[in-house]
Structure 1
Amino acid sequence: MINRKLAPESRAIENIKLIHPEHTKLGNGCNLFCFNSGDQELVRIEWIFGNLTFDPAKPLLNMAVNTMLSDGTTSLSASEIADKIDFYGAFLQVDYGYENSQVTLYTLNKHLHNTLPVIADILNNSIFPQKELETFKRNQQQKLQVSVQKNDILARRAFNRAVYGATIFGYAAEMADYQTLHRDDMLAHYKQMYQPANCTIIISGKIEPQTLSLITDTFGDRWANTSAQATTGQTAFKPAPELFYFTERPDALQSAIRIGMPTINRKHEDFQSLQVLNTVLGGYFGSRLMANIREDKGYTYGIGSGLASFKQGGAFFLATEVGADVCKAAVGEIEKEINLLKTELVPEDELSLVRNYMLGSTLGSLENIFSHTDKFKTIHFAGLDYDYYDRYTDTVKNITSEKLIKLANTYFNFDQFYKVIVGKY
């Protein structure tokens, strides 16, 4: 019998073991990574493509083309594609990101020979029907009309423009931009971007020999590159000279606050240490910002900070919504917490709690083979190796308060932060 009067024994996390993939490069230039694990007859297959270089004259192409991939091919309509996937209990989704876009298929192994041809058709024969395009533009414009009524959305858009400038990272769609979407441009963009030389396929799950054979046969020699080479890679950040942005909304009950600045990315030697500092400040529910702004002052339901990492650089950001009447006071408390990190050592008990939280969260996130795959994608597309996670564990376990105060003085200058407020101030 378990004696429930005794707390379970706790142990320090020594290391975190990750599953490594097998790598093959197909003859057409496509990179294939396999994570073979699990007992269920299920696989997840991801086709990941580098976005074409952002064109300010046609800013929506990367997003629109990826979103509409499954809206019709030369042989199948959007509803027929959906019916075929649903019939076999599979799941298909498309995802757009700043640097990469992807198509993901979850399917049982026994149905792969029926579902895989649908993906091949999408990646080779999408046609972006004019009727579907008009519906897409109308729906997106309606969503935009709704979203720009929200203070937090306006604050995020303004913050990204200020920090990242006229790049894909700082771009925010306007109503008129949807009129720049034309089917001919989308077809040309599609043919250049969605080809094997610009694709990484990642398979995870129970990968049987016949499964791998079917995938390599379908997306190997039978999938040919076009004559137009994909021009990928995004331009560097172009931060604005102005640091403060205030949009007044007289009827606002809450004000949205977004504060931060461009900073280092995942490749920098200080990045993992900065993650620890960020966690102390606002990276988890027990952070200083939550304790002060939410628990003590009652200004907000939630506040948090984070680090964004891209190939071109990184950014530190802090976001919250507070009562409109306490907006200025909230900003003052945020500045106070940041300055405390620069002048006072983090107590050892607080740092120990953060260490346990960060290592425990990382370990807890590895619940299945798909989680291991996601960890791989983080480092692979950043140009890093698995020793990144070894260094991460070592950094979190051994970082000192002295190191944190030095980092705070190096990277946190509140006077040089971009500050965006929407509502009342």
Structure 2
Amino acid sequence: MKRLILSLAAGAALVSATQAAAQPGFPTTPPRPQGAPRISLPQPQRMQLPNGLTVMYVRQPELPVVSAVLVTRGAGTADEPGDLPGLSSFTANMLDEGAAGMDALQLADALDLLGASLSTGSGTDAAQSNLYVLRQNFPRALQLMADVVTRPDFPEREVSRLRDERLTALARAKDEATTIAGNAFASLVYGGQHPYGRVPSAESTRGLDRARVQAFHASRYRPENSTLILVGDVDAAQMQPMIAQAFGGWRAQGAAMQMGTAPAAPTIGRTTVYLIDKPGAAQSEIRIGHPGVARDNPDYFPLLVLNTMLGGTFTSRLNTNLRETHGWAYGARSSYSMFRGAGPFTAAAGVQTNATDSALVEFFRELNRIRTEPVSADELQKIKSFVALRLPDQLETTQDVAGNLANLETYGLNASYFDDYVQRVMAVTADDLRRVANQYVRPENSVVVVVGDRSVVEAGIRAANVGPVEIRDVTEFVRE
């Protein structure tokens, strides 16, 4: 009876929809997206403390909240000692494990009572601390943030605990194909001596002791290299004295460190496939790529459109090919990681083991096709509209705005970057795409990493003739 009722209901709904469609004025075609809106953020108000700390205020008073991001340039992975990979993230993760005499639980309790969230971490070129709190609780939460960044205690017990957790993760990583592939790709593209190619080992992780963490913090966390970005219900006249009280005791060490340029990326010769055996693997992890471009590259916008078309969205060429057309992968993607130096261009997917060789062929088909075949006007317009119409979503919340401004500060870009973002995206032409594709996508000079069951995939990979095949061991890239 229930099934009959549901069938009758479905039939009635279909009749109703048909009748509605027959009525004059009922839409019969899907709506077309309108032009992307011009985005104009409030102009940040910049101030500075005597110790060199820059403070940016962006007033968005619609909600009584404050998002604060403190970005410290020169405290990222690219700036850590070569023999201690992981030191920057270890230091950042330790900041909220005890500060100004409070232990980690006391800090967490104090933040909970304020309804605030506070997180710390580091990226390639900078470290960040992120605070989100109601405006009325901002003064106390700001002091806790300042304590965490400028007066961390680095308790020995917490240092040991976090170090043990990382050693456990390293031991587990030798069984994780995605970690193996990521480590191998970075190491083979850049080499173990380049900041972008270094990967932690058990030996280097055991060297992360309290003294080294303290030394890195003392030398790298400096007010003259930091910017505090405040977005939301903020007022510079009211808040600047609070900032001075919280961060005024953070001692400068002289002129701001000049970031300079990262070491030059190595040149990749003939494309080579590096096969790493993982017996019994249900799928193969594939990484293809080479050094790409730095964040200040003048072709940023053509590359943004190019990568979105190639592998930067669900409807991209790579994902459509490997997932939708062939069903070999849950997802295929590509990216340009842009840092102070030339970060990697990467095309990646986890594919069915029995389709490893075929997937490699299709990867290279798409990498070559985007260089040689003209892009249709319809596809180009669709991709540009997608990129442009996503911008409002990326600036929807105060946290989004603060995070994006922190990224601009890291790379010395002005906040006016967003003012003509849409116009610069929409100005990209098919000729621009052809030019940057041929300049910055190099399938003939790439590192190819395959982590999979060698007994199943090796013969097919060699037959695919993508390039010479070298067999490498997991222990080269995940060292306990």
TM-score by length of 1: 0.92
Displacement after TM superposition at 1:15 (Å): 3.0
- CA distance in 1 between partners of 2:213 and 2:427 (Å): 50
Match of 2:27 in 1: 5
Instruction: Give 1:74-93 correspondences, 5 Å limit.
Output: 74-93=100-119
Displacement after TM superposition at 1:356 (Å): 1.3
Counterpart AA for 2:374: L
- CA distance in 1 between partners of 2:238 and 2:423 (Å): 40
Residues 1:316 and 1:93: Cα distance change in structure 2 (over 3 Å): same
User: Is 1:54–1:167's contact at 8 Å kept on the other side of the alignment?
Assistant: no
User: Is 1:38–1:369's contact at 8 Å kept on the other side of the alignment?
Assistant: no
Residues 1:263 and 1:124: Cα distance change in structure 2 (over 3 Å): closer
Match of 1:21 in 2: 44
1:194-231 CA distances to partner (integer Å, 9 max, x unpaired)?
232222111111014433431233223x3323589868
User: Is 1:163–1:237's contact at 8 Å kept on the other side of the alignment?
Assistant: no
Match of 2:293 in 1: 264
Q: Provide the secondary structure at the position in 1 that maps to 2:338.
A: strand
User: Is 2:290–2:442's contact at 8 Å kept on the other side of the alignment?
Assistant: no
- CA distance in 2 between partners of 1:43 and 1:112 (Å): 7
1:422 aligns with 2:451: yes
- CA distance in 2 between partners of 1:375 and 1:70 (Å): 23
Match of 2:246 in 1: 218
User: Is 1:43–1:205's contact at 8 Å kept on the other side of the alignment?
Assistant: yes
- CA distance in 2 between partners of 1:126 and 1:228 (Å): 23
Work out which of the residue numbers 312, 315, 318 in structure 1 matches 2:347: 318
- CA distance in 2 between partners of 1:43 and 1:277 (Å): 36
Counterpart AA for 1:310: F
Match of 2:428 in 1: 399
- CA distance in 1 between partners of 2:105 and 2:182 (Å): 35
Counterpart AA for 1:183: R
Instruction: Give 1:12-411 correspondences, 5 Å limit.
Output: 12-13=35-36, 15-52=38-75, 53-165=79-191, 166-208=193-235, 209-220=237-248, 222-225=249-252, 235-239=262-266, 243-386=272-415, 388-389=417-418, 392-411=421-440
- RMSD over equivalenced CA pairs, Å: 2.4
- CA distance in 1 between partners of 2:168 and 2:450 (Å): 25
Displacement after TM superposition at 1:241 (Å): 5.3
- CA distance in 2 between partners of 1:388 and 1:74 (Å): 38
Residues 1:186 and 1:314: Cα distance change in structure 2 (over 3 Å): closer
Percent identity, please: 28
Displacement after TM superposition at 1:308 (Å): 0.9
Displacement after TM superposition at 1:61 (Å): 2.2
Q: Provide the secondary structure at the position in 2 that maps to 1:252.
A: coil
Residues 1:383 and 1:210: Cα distance change in structure 2 (over 3 Å): closer
- CA distance in 2 between partners of 1:224 and 1:266 (Å): 30
Displacement after TM superposition at 1:303 (Å): 0.4
Displacement after TM superposition at 1:309 (Å): 0.7
Of 68-77 and 91-100, more deviation after overlay is shown by: 68-77
1:216-255 CA distances to partner (integer Å, 9 max, x unpaired)?
33223x3323589868667414437574322011211100
Q: Provide the secondary structure at the position in 2 that maps to 1:93.
A: strand
User: Is 1:164–1:237's contact at 8 Å kept on the other side of the alignment?
Assistant: no
Of 190-199 and 74-83, more deviation after overlay is shown by: 190-199
- CA distance in 1 between partners of 2:36 and 2:252 (Å): 47
- CA distance in 1 between partners of 2:133 and 2:440 (Å): 45
1:278-315 CA distances to partner (integer Å, 9 max, x unpaired)?
11111111111111111111110100111111111233
Counterpart AA for 1:131: R
Displacement after TM superposition at 1:16 (Å): 2.8
Displacement after TM superposition at 1:129 (Å): 1.3
- The number of residue pairs the alignment matches comes to 422
1:76-99 CA distances to partner (integer Å, 9 max, x unpaired)?
111111111111111111121111
Residues 1:191 and 1:345: Cα distance change in structure 2 (over 3 Å): same
- CA distance in 2 between partners of 1:127 and 1:228 (Å): 26
Q: Provide the secondary structure at the position in 2 that maps to 1:68.
A: helix
- CA distance in 2 between partners of 1:120 and 1:249 (Å): 46
Of 201-210 and 237-246, more deviation after overlay is shown by: 237-246
Larger radius of gyration: 2
- CA distance in 1 between partners of 2:227 and 2:124 (Å): 16
Counterpart AA for 2:174: V
- CA distance in 2 between partners of 1:385 and 1:121 (Å): 29
- CA distance in 1 between partners of 2:141 and 2:41 (Å): 30
User: Is 1:266–1:272's contact at 8 Å kept on the other side of the alignment?
Assistant: no
Displacement after TM superposition at 1:256 (Å): 0.3
User: Is 1:47–1:199's contact at 8 Å kept on the other side of the alignment?
Assistant: yes
**Structure 2: 5+ residue runs without aligned partners?**
1-24, 458-480
Q: Provide the secondary structure at the position in 2 that maps to 1:102.
A: strand
Counterpart AA for 1:31: T
Residues 1:64 and 1:228: Cα distance change in structure 2 (over 3 Å): farther
- CA distance in 1 between partners of 2:276 and 2:213 (Å): 35
- CA distance in 2 between partners of 1:39 and 1:131 (Å): 43
Residues 1:180 and 1:303: Cα distance change in structure 2 (over 3 Å): same
TM-score by length of 2: 0.82
Displacement after TM superposition at 1:336 (Å): 0.8
